[in-house]
Chains A and B, each alone.
Chain A
Amino acid sequence: MGRKILFVTTDQQRYDTLGCNGGAIARTPVIDGLAGEGIRYERAVPASVVCMPSRSTMLTGQSPRRHGVWMNGVPLPVDAPSAAEVLRRVGYRTALVGKPHFEPFLDPFGRFTENRLARLGVPTVDSLGHDGLVGPHRGFEHLEFATHSSAGQLHYARWLAENHPEVIDGFYATLDRDLEVNADGGGATGAPQVKDNPVPRDWYHTDWVADRTIDWLDALDADDDWFCWMSFPDPHHPWDPPESELGRVAWREVPLPEGYSIDRAEREAILDAKPRHWRQWYDGQLVSNFEAPPSWVPATLTADQLREVTARNAVEVELIDEALGRVLAAIAARGWADDLDVIVTTDHGELGGDFGLLFKGPYHVDSLMRLPLVWRPAPNSGVAPAVVNGPVGLVDLAPTWCAIAGVAPSPWMEGVRLPVDEADHVDRHPGRVITEWDSERFGVTVGLRTITRDGWVCTVCMPGSVHDGSEGELYRLDDDPLQRENRWDDPALRSVRDDLVADLVDSLGPVTGGRRPVEAPV
């Protein structure tokens, strides 16, 4: 009998929302406890700051330019390599419960497997793998899906429709009548993507994901080894947690984020020192991507709206922590506690009011790129608790799962096993993480290439319809943890910038197979 793997992801969660990372609004005792017993990563960096590319990197262990999901709306090829399949072939039982998002959600033709599964009523379907062998879809023998909404084709939406149809309209409508991300406001402040949701907590998707995970685990044999990806849709917007839980956090008392300058002139001066797409979006002059409401102008965000959004986000984080606690208790009841590895992370961050912005987009700063990541190795593995300060990537997850399962990483994986302490990081990890952004939206193109290394974050804005290729960002994380001062044009740092850019260029592999078409907005 080997080690079991519970891989827990949230969606769009900031580093600073966890108590173990210094967060003071949400109470997260379960994850904090795992961090105390295991390894906490101070700088975990995604390969992309949007869902589909980032999640595809987790599953494949590859960068977006290799797995091909270069923006939301581009499906991961069905025959892309899958670390879950690697584990399945050595005997692991495999499941993904919650939000997948390797394929577009907006799919009226029902072309994509994720959208078809609930209708088909089967736990998985057979697909052709990357090596020509047929196996369960993406290596998962059990798939059961949810997303942020009560609408759509996934299992959770169908479960609500069949069992609790009266609560469906209580959720926020994620899309407006033009099928764009909705800008409608709610709550006490009219903040975008906020709504009071009367859904009972037990029927909300966070608890549903935990319930379905527990049911799958309960069906396993005691001596099974298993890999379960439990994927919570929250705290991604909309911020519509069960209203019964809103009293957990009094929004009027929530402090404003450090990255938010309440003085408008100061805020805008910071934005003006960054590449032009920052200020253009803030002023409502540029909509470059589908990840935020196009009709919402960030400059209109008020301090109270930000407080209310932050409070609701914290409520969602607390519910996730408690749901994880229930799953861990169920696992312990099965007698698996000593053999259990738990990894907790997210796909990307949330701007969360930093620089006066919400949601996400082509903005490669800590808000979106510094992620919560905790690995609690199985207690019987003898790994000591540690904090790793050097940068690691989500591209390192797949080789880590392999290491836990005792199999060699596949040659198509680009990362390395997560280091177990700082010395291990120095010895084995390349010490750099690459993050890429590419987007096309009706004639607007934006491309960013970023390297995180040696305490620096350096971003090159690629030539496109917005940038001419001369702009970029350079931040020293120790001196400027909030990335308020862009030093791209600082003559004193020219050699540092040149070195980072040269390393960035050298580290970017070729784009594999050409750029594949966008099939849907998201």
Chain B
Amino acid sequence: MTTRASVRRERRIGRPVEVVWEVIGRPDLLHLWYPGIEACEVRGDVRTITLATGMTLEERILTLDPVQRRFQYRVTGGLFQEHLATVDALDLGDHTTLAVYSTDAAPATMALVLGGGAGAALDELARQLEAATGPAVDAVRAGPHPSSAPHANHAEREATS
């Protein structure tokens, strides 16, 4: 019986990777491009999200790497026995970007549910970036959130500890 699962969603976005990363690399803006997430608060390496159903989830930010353009986080507690989300922005070399949102989770069912949400999020991200307008794009233009401090690469630290 499958107890964990890995689900990957990807979306080609007709914007340069630097522009895409400007949004993906802002953990405090997730609610502006992820359908069903209504609020998002970042304090240090802890992000708390509030879903449209009223449920709140606490997440730990593990990787925020502007060189690899990789963002990783982990939902802590709740229904999850295990969770790791990885969002990559990959330069396709023609001023377009492949955005990849991967979800590893146990129970396996949650990977599928979150994978569905991630797919919808990538669609919304592409819509806003390609139209050059929308709440997330506008928030990037307005500048960094005051509480958005650089994060250490916690994934690297975990791997070597």
Residues of A within 8 A of B (CB): 73, 104, 106-111, 115-116, 119, 153, 175, 177-180, 287, 294-295, 441-442, 517-521
Contact = CB atoms under 8 A, between A and B. Distances in A.
B119 A294 contact: no
A518 B120 contact: no
- The main secondary structure of chain A at its interface with chain B is loop
Contact of A180 (B107, B115, B120): B107
Nearest to A175: B109
Interface residues of B, number: 25
Given A109-B35, A111-B35, A178 B108 contact: yes
Interface in B76-108: 79, 106-108
Contacts of B107: 177-180
B92 to A, nearest CB: 20
Contacts of B51: 108-110
27 contacts: A107-B36, A107-B53, A108-B51, A108-B55, A109-B36, A110-B36, A110-B51, A110-B53, A111-B52, A111-B120, A116-B52, A119-B53, A175-B109, A177-B107, A179-B107, A179-B110, A287-B1, A442-B5, A442-B108, A517-B9, A517-B116, A519-B113, A519-B116, A520-B113, A520-B116, A521-B109, A521-B113
A111 to B, nearest CB: 4
B109 A287 contact: no
Contact of B53 (A108, A175, A294, A442): A108
Contact of A517 (B53, B108, B113, B119): B119
A287 B113 contact: no
A117 B2 CA distance: 33
A40 B120 CA distance: 44
Given A106-B109, A111-B52, A442-B5, A179 B116 contact: no
Given A109-B52, A517-B9, A519-B119, A295 B1 contact: yes
Contacts of B39: none
A180 B108 CA distance: 9
A178 B112 contact: no
- The main secondary structure of chain B at its interface with chain A is mixed
Contacts of B79: 179
B161 interface: no
Given A179-B79, A442-B2, A518 B116 contact: yes
Interface in B1-55: 1-3, 5, 9, 35-37, 51-53, 55
Given A178-B3, A517-B116, A520-B116, A109 B109 contact: no
Contacts of B119: 517, 519
A287 B108 CA distance: 13
Contacts of A111: 35-36, 52, 116-117, 120
A145 B61 CA distance: 38
A159 B77 CA distance: 29
A180 B51 CA distance: 22
Q: Of residues A73, A109, A119, which shows the largest number of chain B Cβ atoms within 10 Å of its Cβ?
A: A109
A455 to B, nearest CB: 40
Contacts of B53: 107-110, 115, 119, 153
Nearest to B53: A110
Nearest to B117: A109
Given A111-B120, A180-B107, A521-B112, 9 more contacts: A109-B37, A110-B36, A153-B53, A175-B109, A178-B107, A179-B109, A287-B2, A519-B113, A519-B120
A115 B35 CA distance: 14
Interface string B112-137: 11011101100000000000000000
Contacts of B120: 111, 519
B108 to A, nearest CB: 6
A108 B113 contact: yes
A347 to B, nearest CB: 22
A177 B9 CA distance: 26
Contacts of B112: 73, 518, 520-521
Contacts of A115: 53
B37 to A, nearest CB: 7
Contact of A178 (B109, B113, B117): B109
Interface in B121-156: none
A518 to B, nearest CB: 7
B35 A294 contact: no
B2 A294 contact: yes
A175 B107 CA distance: 12
Q: Of residues B53, B106, B110, which shows the largest number of chain A Cβ atoms within 10 Å of its Cβ?
A: B53
Contacts of B115: 517
A344 to B, nearest CB: 33
Q: Of residues A108, A442, A519, which shows the largest number of chain B Cβ atoms within 10 Å of its Cβ?
A: A108
A441 B117 CA distance: 17
For the complex of A and B, the 10 pairs showing the least CB-CB separation, nearest first, are A109-B36, A519-B116, A110-B52, A179-B109, A178-B107, A110-B53, A111-B36, A442-B5, A520-B113, A179-B107
A179 B113 CA distance: 11
B1 to A, nearest CB: 5
A520 B55 CA distance: 18
Nearest to A104: B116
